[in-house]
Structure 1
Amino acid sequence: MSAALARRRIEALYREESRRIYASLIRLLGDMQLAEEALQEAFRAALEQWPESGIPDNPRAWLVSAGRFKAIDALRRQSRHRDKLDQIGDALMAEAPDPADLADNALEDDRLRLIFTCCHPALAEPARVALTLREVCDLSTEAIASAFLVPVPTLAQRIVRAKAKIRDAAIAFEVPAGAALEERLQTVLQVIYLLYNEGYSSSRGAELGAPELVREAVRLAELLLELLPHAETRGLLALMLLQESRRATRTDAAGDLVLLADQDRERWDRELIARGEALVTAALRAGGHGPYALQAAIAAVHAGAPSFDATDWREIVGLYDLLLALSPSPVIELNRAVAVGMRDGPAAGEALVAELAAEGALDRYHLLHAARADFLRQLGRSGEALAAYRRALELAQQAPEQRFLAGRIAALEGAAPENRHRPVE
């Protein structure tokens, strides 16, 4: 095998499997920092060996095994870690069977264990989410800070303190049972959905989303549903499947954004829609449902509409009213405002979005400014629309959204001669 081909395969494995391998190494080594170092050493070994020996039949298991033995060797070479080696060395060497002897799909799902560990109630809730997104999803500290609108140093400190808490409190690397499982469920659902959102619509970058993150989020939700068939677990999985059913139509051949109103509904994945609708029905009938089931119900209304114009906006607004009562947030208020604008006209929608803008909580949320700009454009208030579109473009981090917003600006500038030569700020 050529070195170039081996490198491409290893790079793909790193993108798609590194966090799963990392989670398995945490289980085997009992230490996050040691597991991170072992992960890097395992991939370094693969880069050195695979061009000569070829890709193993079970590459993920090979990497887990290589990382484990690299960590053991490192501990043995460092006398200052002798005490730690005495505690874990025999257990590591006696671990049976060797992960390299297992098929990739036979390894325990350590990533789900890692999520529950990171969501332990001993950790503050903001730290749980930040730690899980960093350790499980491999999002950068900068990306997580941007998503939560907090300074990078603040976010970094949360992660450092959370890791120290897990180490010092000897928090078990396990999926809990009984009441402990229920206790952590909401945070775990939140983290899985945040993982899905990063895959569905990346917080920044050249692409609209990352399909491998979507697949992982759906896989984890399916595992969680088997473990705990709760209404909200069904709701979350339904929501992701219904949103994912539209993936093929969200961008055109050039990778540019296609709005919901312009998507080809014939290309929506009807199998995913059917699965999602069945899960929504089960979640709502079961009782005890919450925000995810209600969001899934909203997505089901969109999925069931034969056309954009035939969408039942009255039902969607009603569902948003229920959602706001259950889980109030500025983003849900914004989504409701857009739905009201679709039901009652752009003036009603713009008034609600303007109220939200005045409150300031979403000032750095580009979709607020984009929504207001769109209502203003429909109302013929081109100057105000341009200012709002420019603000949205200034805040947008994703290339397809940036191109879309720039296109809106260019169209408005072309329609208004006095603005034609005004630069985008």
Structure 2
Amino acid sequence: MINKIKKVIASDLIKVFSFTGLSTLVKLITSYVTVKVVASIIGPSGIALIGQLQNFVAIITTVGAGGINNGVVKYVSEYKDDEDELQKYLRNGLKITIYLSFFVGILLIVTSQYLGKWILLDNKYSYIFVFFGVCLFLLSLNNYFLSILNGFKEFRRFVILNIITSIIGLIFTVSLVLMYHIKGALIATVSYQSVVIFFTIFYLRRSPWFKINILWGHWNKDIVKKYLSYSLMALVSAATLPVSQLIVRGFIIKNFSMDAAGYWEGMNRISALYLMFITTSFSVYYLPRLSEIKEKHLLKREIVKVYKIITPIISGSLLLIFLLKDLLITFLFSKEFYPMIDFFLWQLIGDFFKIMSWILAFIMVAKSMTKLYIITEIIFSLLFVGLSVLFINYFGVIGVTQAYCLNYFLYFLTMTFIFRKLLFNKIL
């Protein structure tokens, strides 16, 4: 028993948890302060509006970077010891990021009036999308460099940059919200990440790969095609979950109120806070690790190990959150948000199945299982919208969390079925 505990503590995943622990703690604190300040000043309706914008930002951030960031992590991890091959991936990845972010940024500026009306329900907010269009290039470039760092498994440097990003985001957002209220919150949502690029460049300036002659070069059609499969996966992902949330939130606003949508968005914010620890460690450790494993028996061993470590951690955490839900609402938001207490049970169960599903779903990303990934993403996003409309009509706003729970339970069963041979068959 003691030896087993020692093995777990010595595992790479736990080491990454340790590396990312401080980063996640800082991010949790900064996110808490940001949410608290924003919620106190602009209330549930303002939170709902920011939720709309954040979903849109998530979509455009992926489109503006070509959706290749997971591909960058995979190929840097795979070819980090092959300098010639690595340079091809770095050069083509940078070109895709630069050209697409410029193009999408200009498109945002040109269509800002329409986007203000469609996303934020009033074209007086069109200037937000002009800000976003200007900032998109810097934001995309920053994410590209972070993906390279992740691919090299430079956990310590990756964590430091994430801490810097969190602190800058806190100062930037709180300052703008205090000065300009809802306008400041919206501007901060689309622009704060772009400021971080200057710190990233300064921090990476001495990295052996951070040189013009390594990062810039000719197009390579074969490399672009390989990135394309990751673009398709990322773009489908960007166009499914955020779009489904936009649709469902719009349905709640139309049939109930902006405040009701704000309660649901508040629940999503709480989920995002405690899921941050898991998702950060998955991105930093799990994706590069799955990408570099070639043998099936090693892949199965890695997945089983992750389940053994993650399952008790997430189960205990979710139970604790449920028991402290009253305190969390008061601590994170204000008394205005107390109606969201009914959302916790179904949301937390859904989050459990979401994480259990991700452990398997990451295999599709790491192994470029493009068609399967796209099909499952589209099906379960459509299912979430359909279930949400059905359950909301029958049970009220709480139905959205019931739909979320059922959707991820079915997704978990589907992932288990897809990878049943890997999980349950004996692999020599």
Higher Cα radius of gyration: 1
Greater helix percent: which structure?
2
Q: TM-score, normalised by structure 2?
A: 0.27
Q: Which structure ranks higher in relative contact order (CA pairs < 8 Å, sequence separation ≥ 6)?
A: 2
